[in-house]
Amino acid sequence: MKRTFVLLGAVLLFALTSPAQTKVNVTTFNMKWFGIGGDPNNIQSEYRIPSMKDFISKYLGFTQVFVFEEVVDLATLKQILPPTWQCVGYKHPMENHQHVAVCAAKALVLDKVPYDTNFVIEEVAAESPRMRPAVRVDVKERKTRRTLFTLVGVHLKAMPNETARRISQAVAISKDLMKIPAQVPVVITGDFNVYEKADTGLKQDDIDLIQRALNAGTRGIAHVPHKPNAKTFRSERYRNQFDQFYVRGPIQVAENPFVFPVCAATLDGPGYFNFDFYYKNVSDHCPAAIQVIVR
């Protein structure tokens, strides 16, 4: 598996120089209260920095754009990524706020969209100070300054009984995306906290309801489905596909998202493939990645 990731990274670096198309790997990763040791009830120095850096180097080295969730201390991101990477986020007045942040490799540039002066969609957090705004950036090739796609990173409201708030947040994103020309590709990813109708008591799953809400203003947003057995969240008793991808416009997705497998495994393996080790030293979420192809 590791060899496959290394080869894929090499292909992506080559593809950035191709005049016909550009391929970029985008990974979403909820880091479980990163910066305060993973537990808001037992705040401590972030002991996971070495293991996070090692995990990303070994298993996510193909990534060129990260969307991180639950980053309490944004400065700690610089310690787990190469020094040439660029990261953007936002300031928040609440102590121990779970920030959304976007980081990109040196070959790319993260820029503000032409119609805004910052990187956030504030309306996504308008209902409550505890909610997270969406982070919205134009992802550009550094060499040509060509905009490849607009990226929206999210961490929507949690809990099964809060679907209505998640839908409201998705509608706010849709209204913002109406300002982006149809010829500009869009990628929306992050922790959507989606539940199935069996959990919410509604007639449709959250994934479908959010896709409809994302298309409330803009049009053409499609969901990128996981494989049925892929789980992006795991606790001792519960597993789910919280972390999702949606895309719009002239863009292709190579295949189903790759999800680090420990969150779905029924048998524990060594190191990061052991759930207890992974939960303690990395997160309760597993990173999910897609390769997008832009012409």
DSSP strand E in 175-263: where?
186-191, 222-224, 233-234, 239-240, 243-248, 251-253, 258-259
User: In the structure encoding, which two tokens stand for residue 288, read together?
Assistant: 């999910």
Q: Where are the domains of the chain?
A: 2-294
C-alpha distances in angstroms, 55 versus 1, 23, 254? 13, 23, 24
- Cα–Cα distance, 168 to 206 (Å, whole number): 12
Give the CATH class of 2-294.
alpha beta
The share of the chain scoring above pLDDT 70, in percent, equals 93
Q: Is the pLDDT of residue 14 over 50?
A: no
SS3 202: coil
Confidence of residue 134 (pLDDT cuts 50, 70, 90): very high
Q: Is the pLDDT of residue 105 over 90?
A: yes
- Cα–Cα distance, 246 to 208 (Å, whole number): 11
* Mean pLDDT of the residues in the chain: 92
pLDDT at site 29? 98
Rg (CA), the chain: 18
